[in-house]
Amino acid sequence: MVVAHRGDWREAPENSVWAVKKAIEKGIDMAEIDLAMTKDSVLILMHDNTIDRTTTGKGKPSDFTLAEIKKLHLRDGLGVETQMQVPTLQEILDVSEGKILLNLDKGFDYIKQVYPLVKKRNMLDQILFKGHESYTEFNQKYGDIKNEIHYMPIIKLGNDEDLKKISEYIKNYKIYGFEFTIGSTEKDLINFKEIRDKKMKIWVNSLWPHHNAGNNDDLVLENPNVYDWYINKGVNIIQTDRPKELINYLKNKKLYY
């Protein structure tokens, strides 16, 4: 599976309606988006703690009402003002329904607010929630909805407390899979076969070197076979900043249709 980081942000401003539309155009499996909340409690898409980098405004999302946020424009990857607006989660659900899976990142605090929105639209099977909690913490927070949602714990390899979470989740809950942060080397890498054998997915980000033992997206511009590392290690979900290159690689290997 190919996941477009913050939508297909090389084609449109990150976390914009068009970033998701461009991901849909490419046939990408899933778009990762980031959530924040406005002053009047509306969920919008925003990665940073402030709106300074990605919009024409300054301040925290919670400093603005939705009406005030909508007066601003998004900036593109070069920081240039566009005519696009910050979208609400509802607007992204409108665009995505029946067309692409969504991973809600930076939204760990909003699962309970998102759940009724997507349930009402019968979109629970299109939404992947993630978080850092242990199984006990997850069960305390979301025990009442855990069997209706798709959830993926984020595990940092080399962290003993995180490693304990793997067996806890496998023993107690039918999870979608695990997201792993590998580190800048393979020193803490584990064998993913046992997890794959239990029909759980393995997610690794190809974004930056510390996620993937140095096998990151920018290297593929000169050597597409960098992605061999993921296939050889048993990874079957890759979140990327270069979806076009990853899809071309997977198609050439007859691993993507």
Q: Which of 106, 29, 168, 110 is nearest to 178 (CA)?
A: 168
Residues 147-181: b if buried by 16+ CB within 10 A, e if exposed: eebbbbbbbbbeeeebeebbeebbeeeebbbbbbb
**Rounded Cα–Cα distance for residues 235 and 139 (Å):** 27
Cβ atoms of 175 and 151 within 8 Å: the answer is: yes
Question: Percent of the chain at pLDDT above 70?
Answer: 100
CATH of domain 141-257: 3.20.20.190
Positions in the chain short of pLDDT 50: none
* Domain assignments of the chain as residue spans, ordered by start: 141-257
- The pLDDT value given to residue 171: 96
Reported as a single tens digit per residue, the pLDDT across 229-250 is 999 999 999 999 999 999 999 9
Rg (alpha carbons) of the chain, rounded to whole number: 18
Q: Which of 201, 220, 198, 199 is nearest to 209 (CA)?
A: 220
- The pLDDT value given to residue 257: 83
Question: Percent of the chain at pLDDT above 90?
Answer: 98
Reported as a single tens digit per residue, the pLDDT across 162-213 is 999 999 999 999 999 999 999 999 999 999 999 999 999 999 999 999 999 9
Q: Which of 131, 83, 86 is nearest to 107 (CA)?
A: 131
Length of the chain: 257
pTM higher than the cut 0.95: yes
